[in-house]
Amino acid sequence: MRLLLLATSLVSSLAAQGCPTGTFWKRDALPVAPTGLTAVSIIQGLCEGESAGVVFEMPANMPVQRITQVVAPWGAALGVGGFQAALDVEVYDGVSFSGAVANMGQLVFSLSAQATANMQVQSHALNTLDTSTYNIIVGAAPATGSPPVRRFAICFRVDLNLHPTATCATGYPANFFTDNSQPPSFPFTCNTITTPQRTSLIEIQGQGWRDAALATVSGFQLCPIYYAGVWCIRCCSQDAFPAYYNNFANGCPGTLGVSQLIPATLPRVGTTMFVIVNNLPANLGLMLTGFSNSASPFGSLPANMTGFGLTNCLLHVSPDVLTTLVGGGNTASYSLAIPNNNGVLGAQLWQQPFAIDPALNPFGGSLGNAAALQIGN
């Protein structure tokens, strides 16, 4: 990083950005979709190979998240458009601080490493990249600090800055920008409101990751002359492992009709899931729970069970676990205790009831509707 004076600029409207669903994360003070003239600060000193990042803090009760979109601010002095760059996208799960040093947690995603690609950005915009297909999980790392907080960081590394006149020695007129709107004024002290600590990150060659509010180069503190504000880095997320219990295949009818699976509670970590099974003529049956809905001891699924005496009935789940159903009024309740362990998050199971119905067919029963479940938060 080169020590170049902070350059503030009034620029025309930036590209609009938001999240269609899920949670929108930002720590900068700019509007979600800036319009009109917008004051920002271009931080010209970041060289190729260096990175900018923002740390996001998760509410204590928030489930593990999947990052679905990231936003990279790329601007140019005087708001000139069209200057391009290629960035790597890096996501870290867990960040802690020791003074100015940022201790990065696990690198859970790198666009260059996992997709052999980079993000193409240009000035002057809040450039977006859809990451929903990459399954980037954050929030699984334990909370740190006092009080303990779960953190993750969205970071962008400059692979290639294509500004035609720029070098690391002379600076890059096109670079990342912050939300700062004011030039530094004497006396030169870092305003902790404008530039809060433990929010923005800089990875400096020869130093590693630093808190941008406290970072120094050659003994000079960057804030407020060389850096001020919060990076306009943003992202979107959704619950990584939503709990669900959904019907996916129809069963065959018994004397009371098709047995149905009706979830009373969803499969969540540390709770007990309850499912109502109806249309049980004898108030007896079995819950078939499988680890697959495509293969079973009877071959590929669905499997026609007519040859076993279940006339015109299809088996949709592998019968790996059988649980007796005993009820009354032609209805029974099924329960499954789910461990309080994040290791089971995202685990999927498939279920299908067998209703005892002695007079129905040679086997004496029917297979009801099949359901897929996922254990979530």
Average pLDDT, rounded, for the chain: 93
Name which residue leads in pLDDT, 89 or 345: 89
Q: What average pLDDT does this structure show over 208-232? A: 95
Tokens 């760059």 locate to 85
Burial of 275 (0-12, 13-18, 19+ CB in 10 A): buried
Domain boundary (207, 239, 271) is at 239
**Residue 2 included in any domain:** no
Quote the domain boundaries for residue 318: 244-374
Give yes or no: residues 67 and 213 share one domain. Answer: yes
Give yes or no: residues 177 and 285 share one domain. Answer: no
> Can you give the pLDDT at residue 184?
82
Domain boundary (223, 239, 255) is at 239
Cis omega (within 30 of 0) on the bond before 173?
A: no
pLDDT in tens, 163-204: 999 899 888 999 999 999 988 877 889 999 999 999 999 999
> Can you give the pLDDT at residue 34?
83
Give yes or no: residues 231 and 160 share one domain. Answer: yes
pLDDT in tens, 287-321: 999 999 999 998 999 999 999 999 999 999 999 99
Residue 8: pLDDT band by 50, 70, 90 thresholds? low
Give yes or no: residues 227 and 287 share one domain. Answer: no
Residue 335: pLDDT band by 50, 70, 90 thresholds? very high
20 torsion bin: left (phi>0), alpha (psi -120 to 50), beta (else): alpha
Alpha helices per DSSP H over the chain: 111-115
Domain boundary (204, 239, 274) is at 239
Per the CB < 8 A criterion, the answer to whether 94 and 143 are in contact is: no
Domain count along the chain: 2
Name which residue leads in pLDDT, 346 or 35: 346
Buried b (16+ CB within 10 A) or exposed e, 183-198: ebeeeeebbeebbbeb
pTM: 0.82
Name which residue leads in pLDDT, 258 or 33: 258
Print the SS3 string covering 299-363: EECCEECHHHCCCCCEECCCCCEEEEEECECCEEEEEEECCCCHHHCCCEEEEEEEEECCCCCCC
Per the CB < 8 A criterion, the answer to whether 289 and 349 are in contact is: yes
> Can you give the pLDDT at residue 9?
63
Residue 143: pLDDT band by 50, 70, 90 thresholds? very high
**Residue 326 included in any domain:** yes
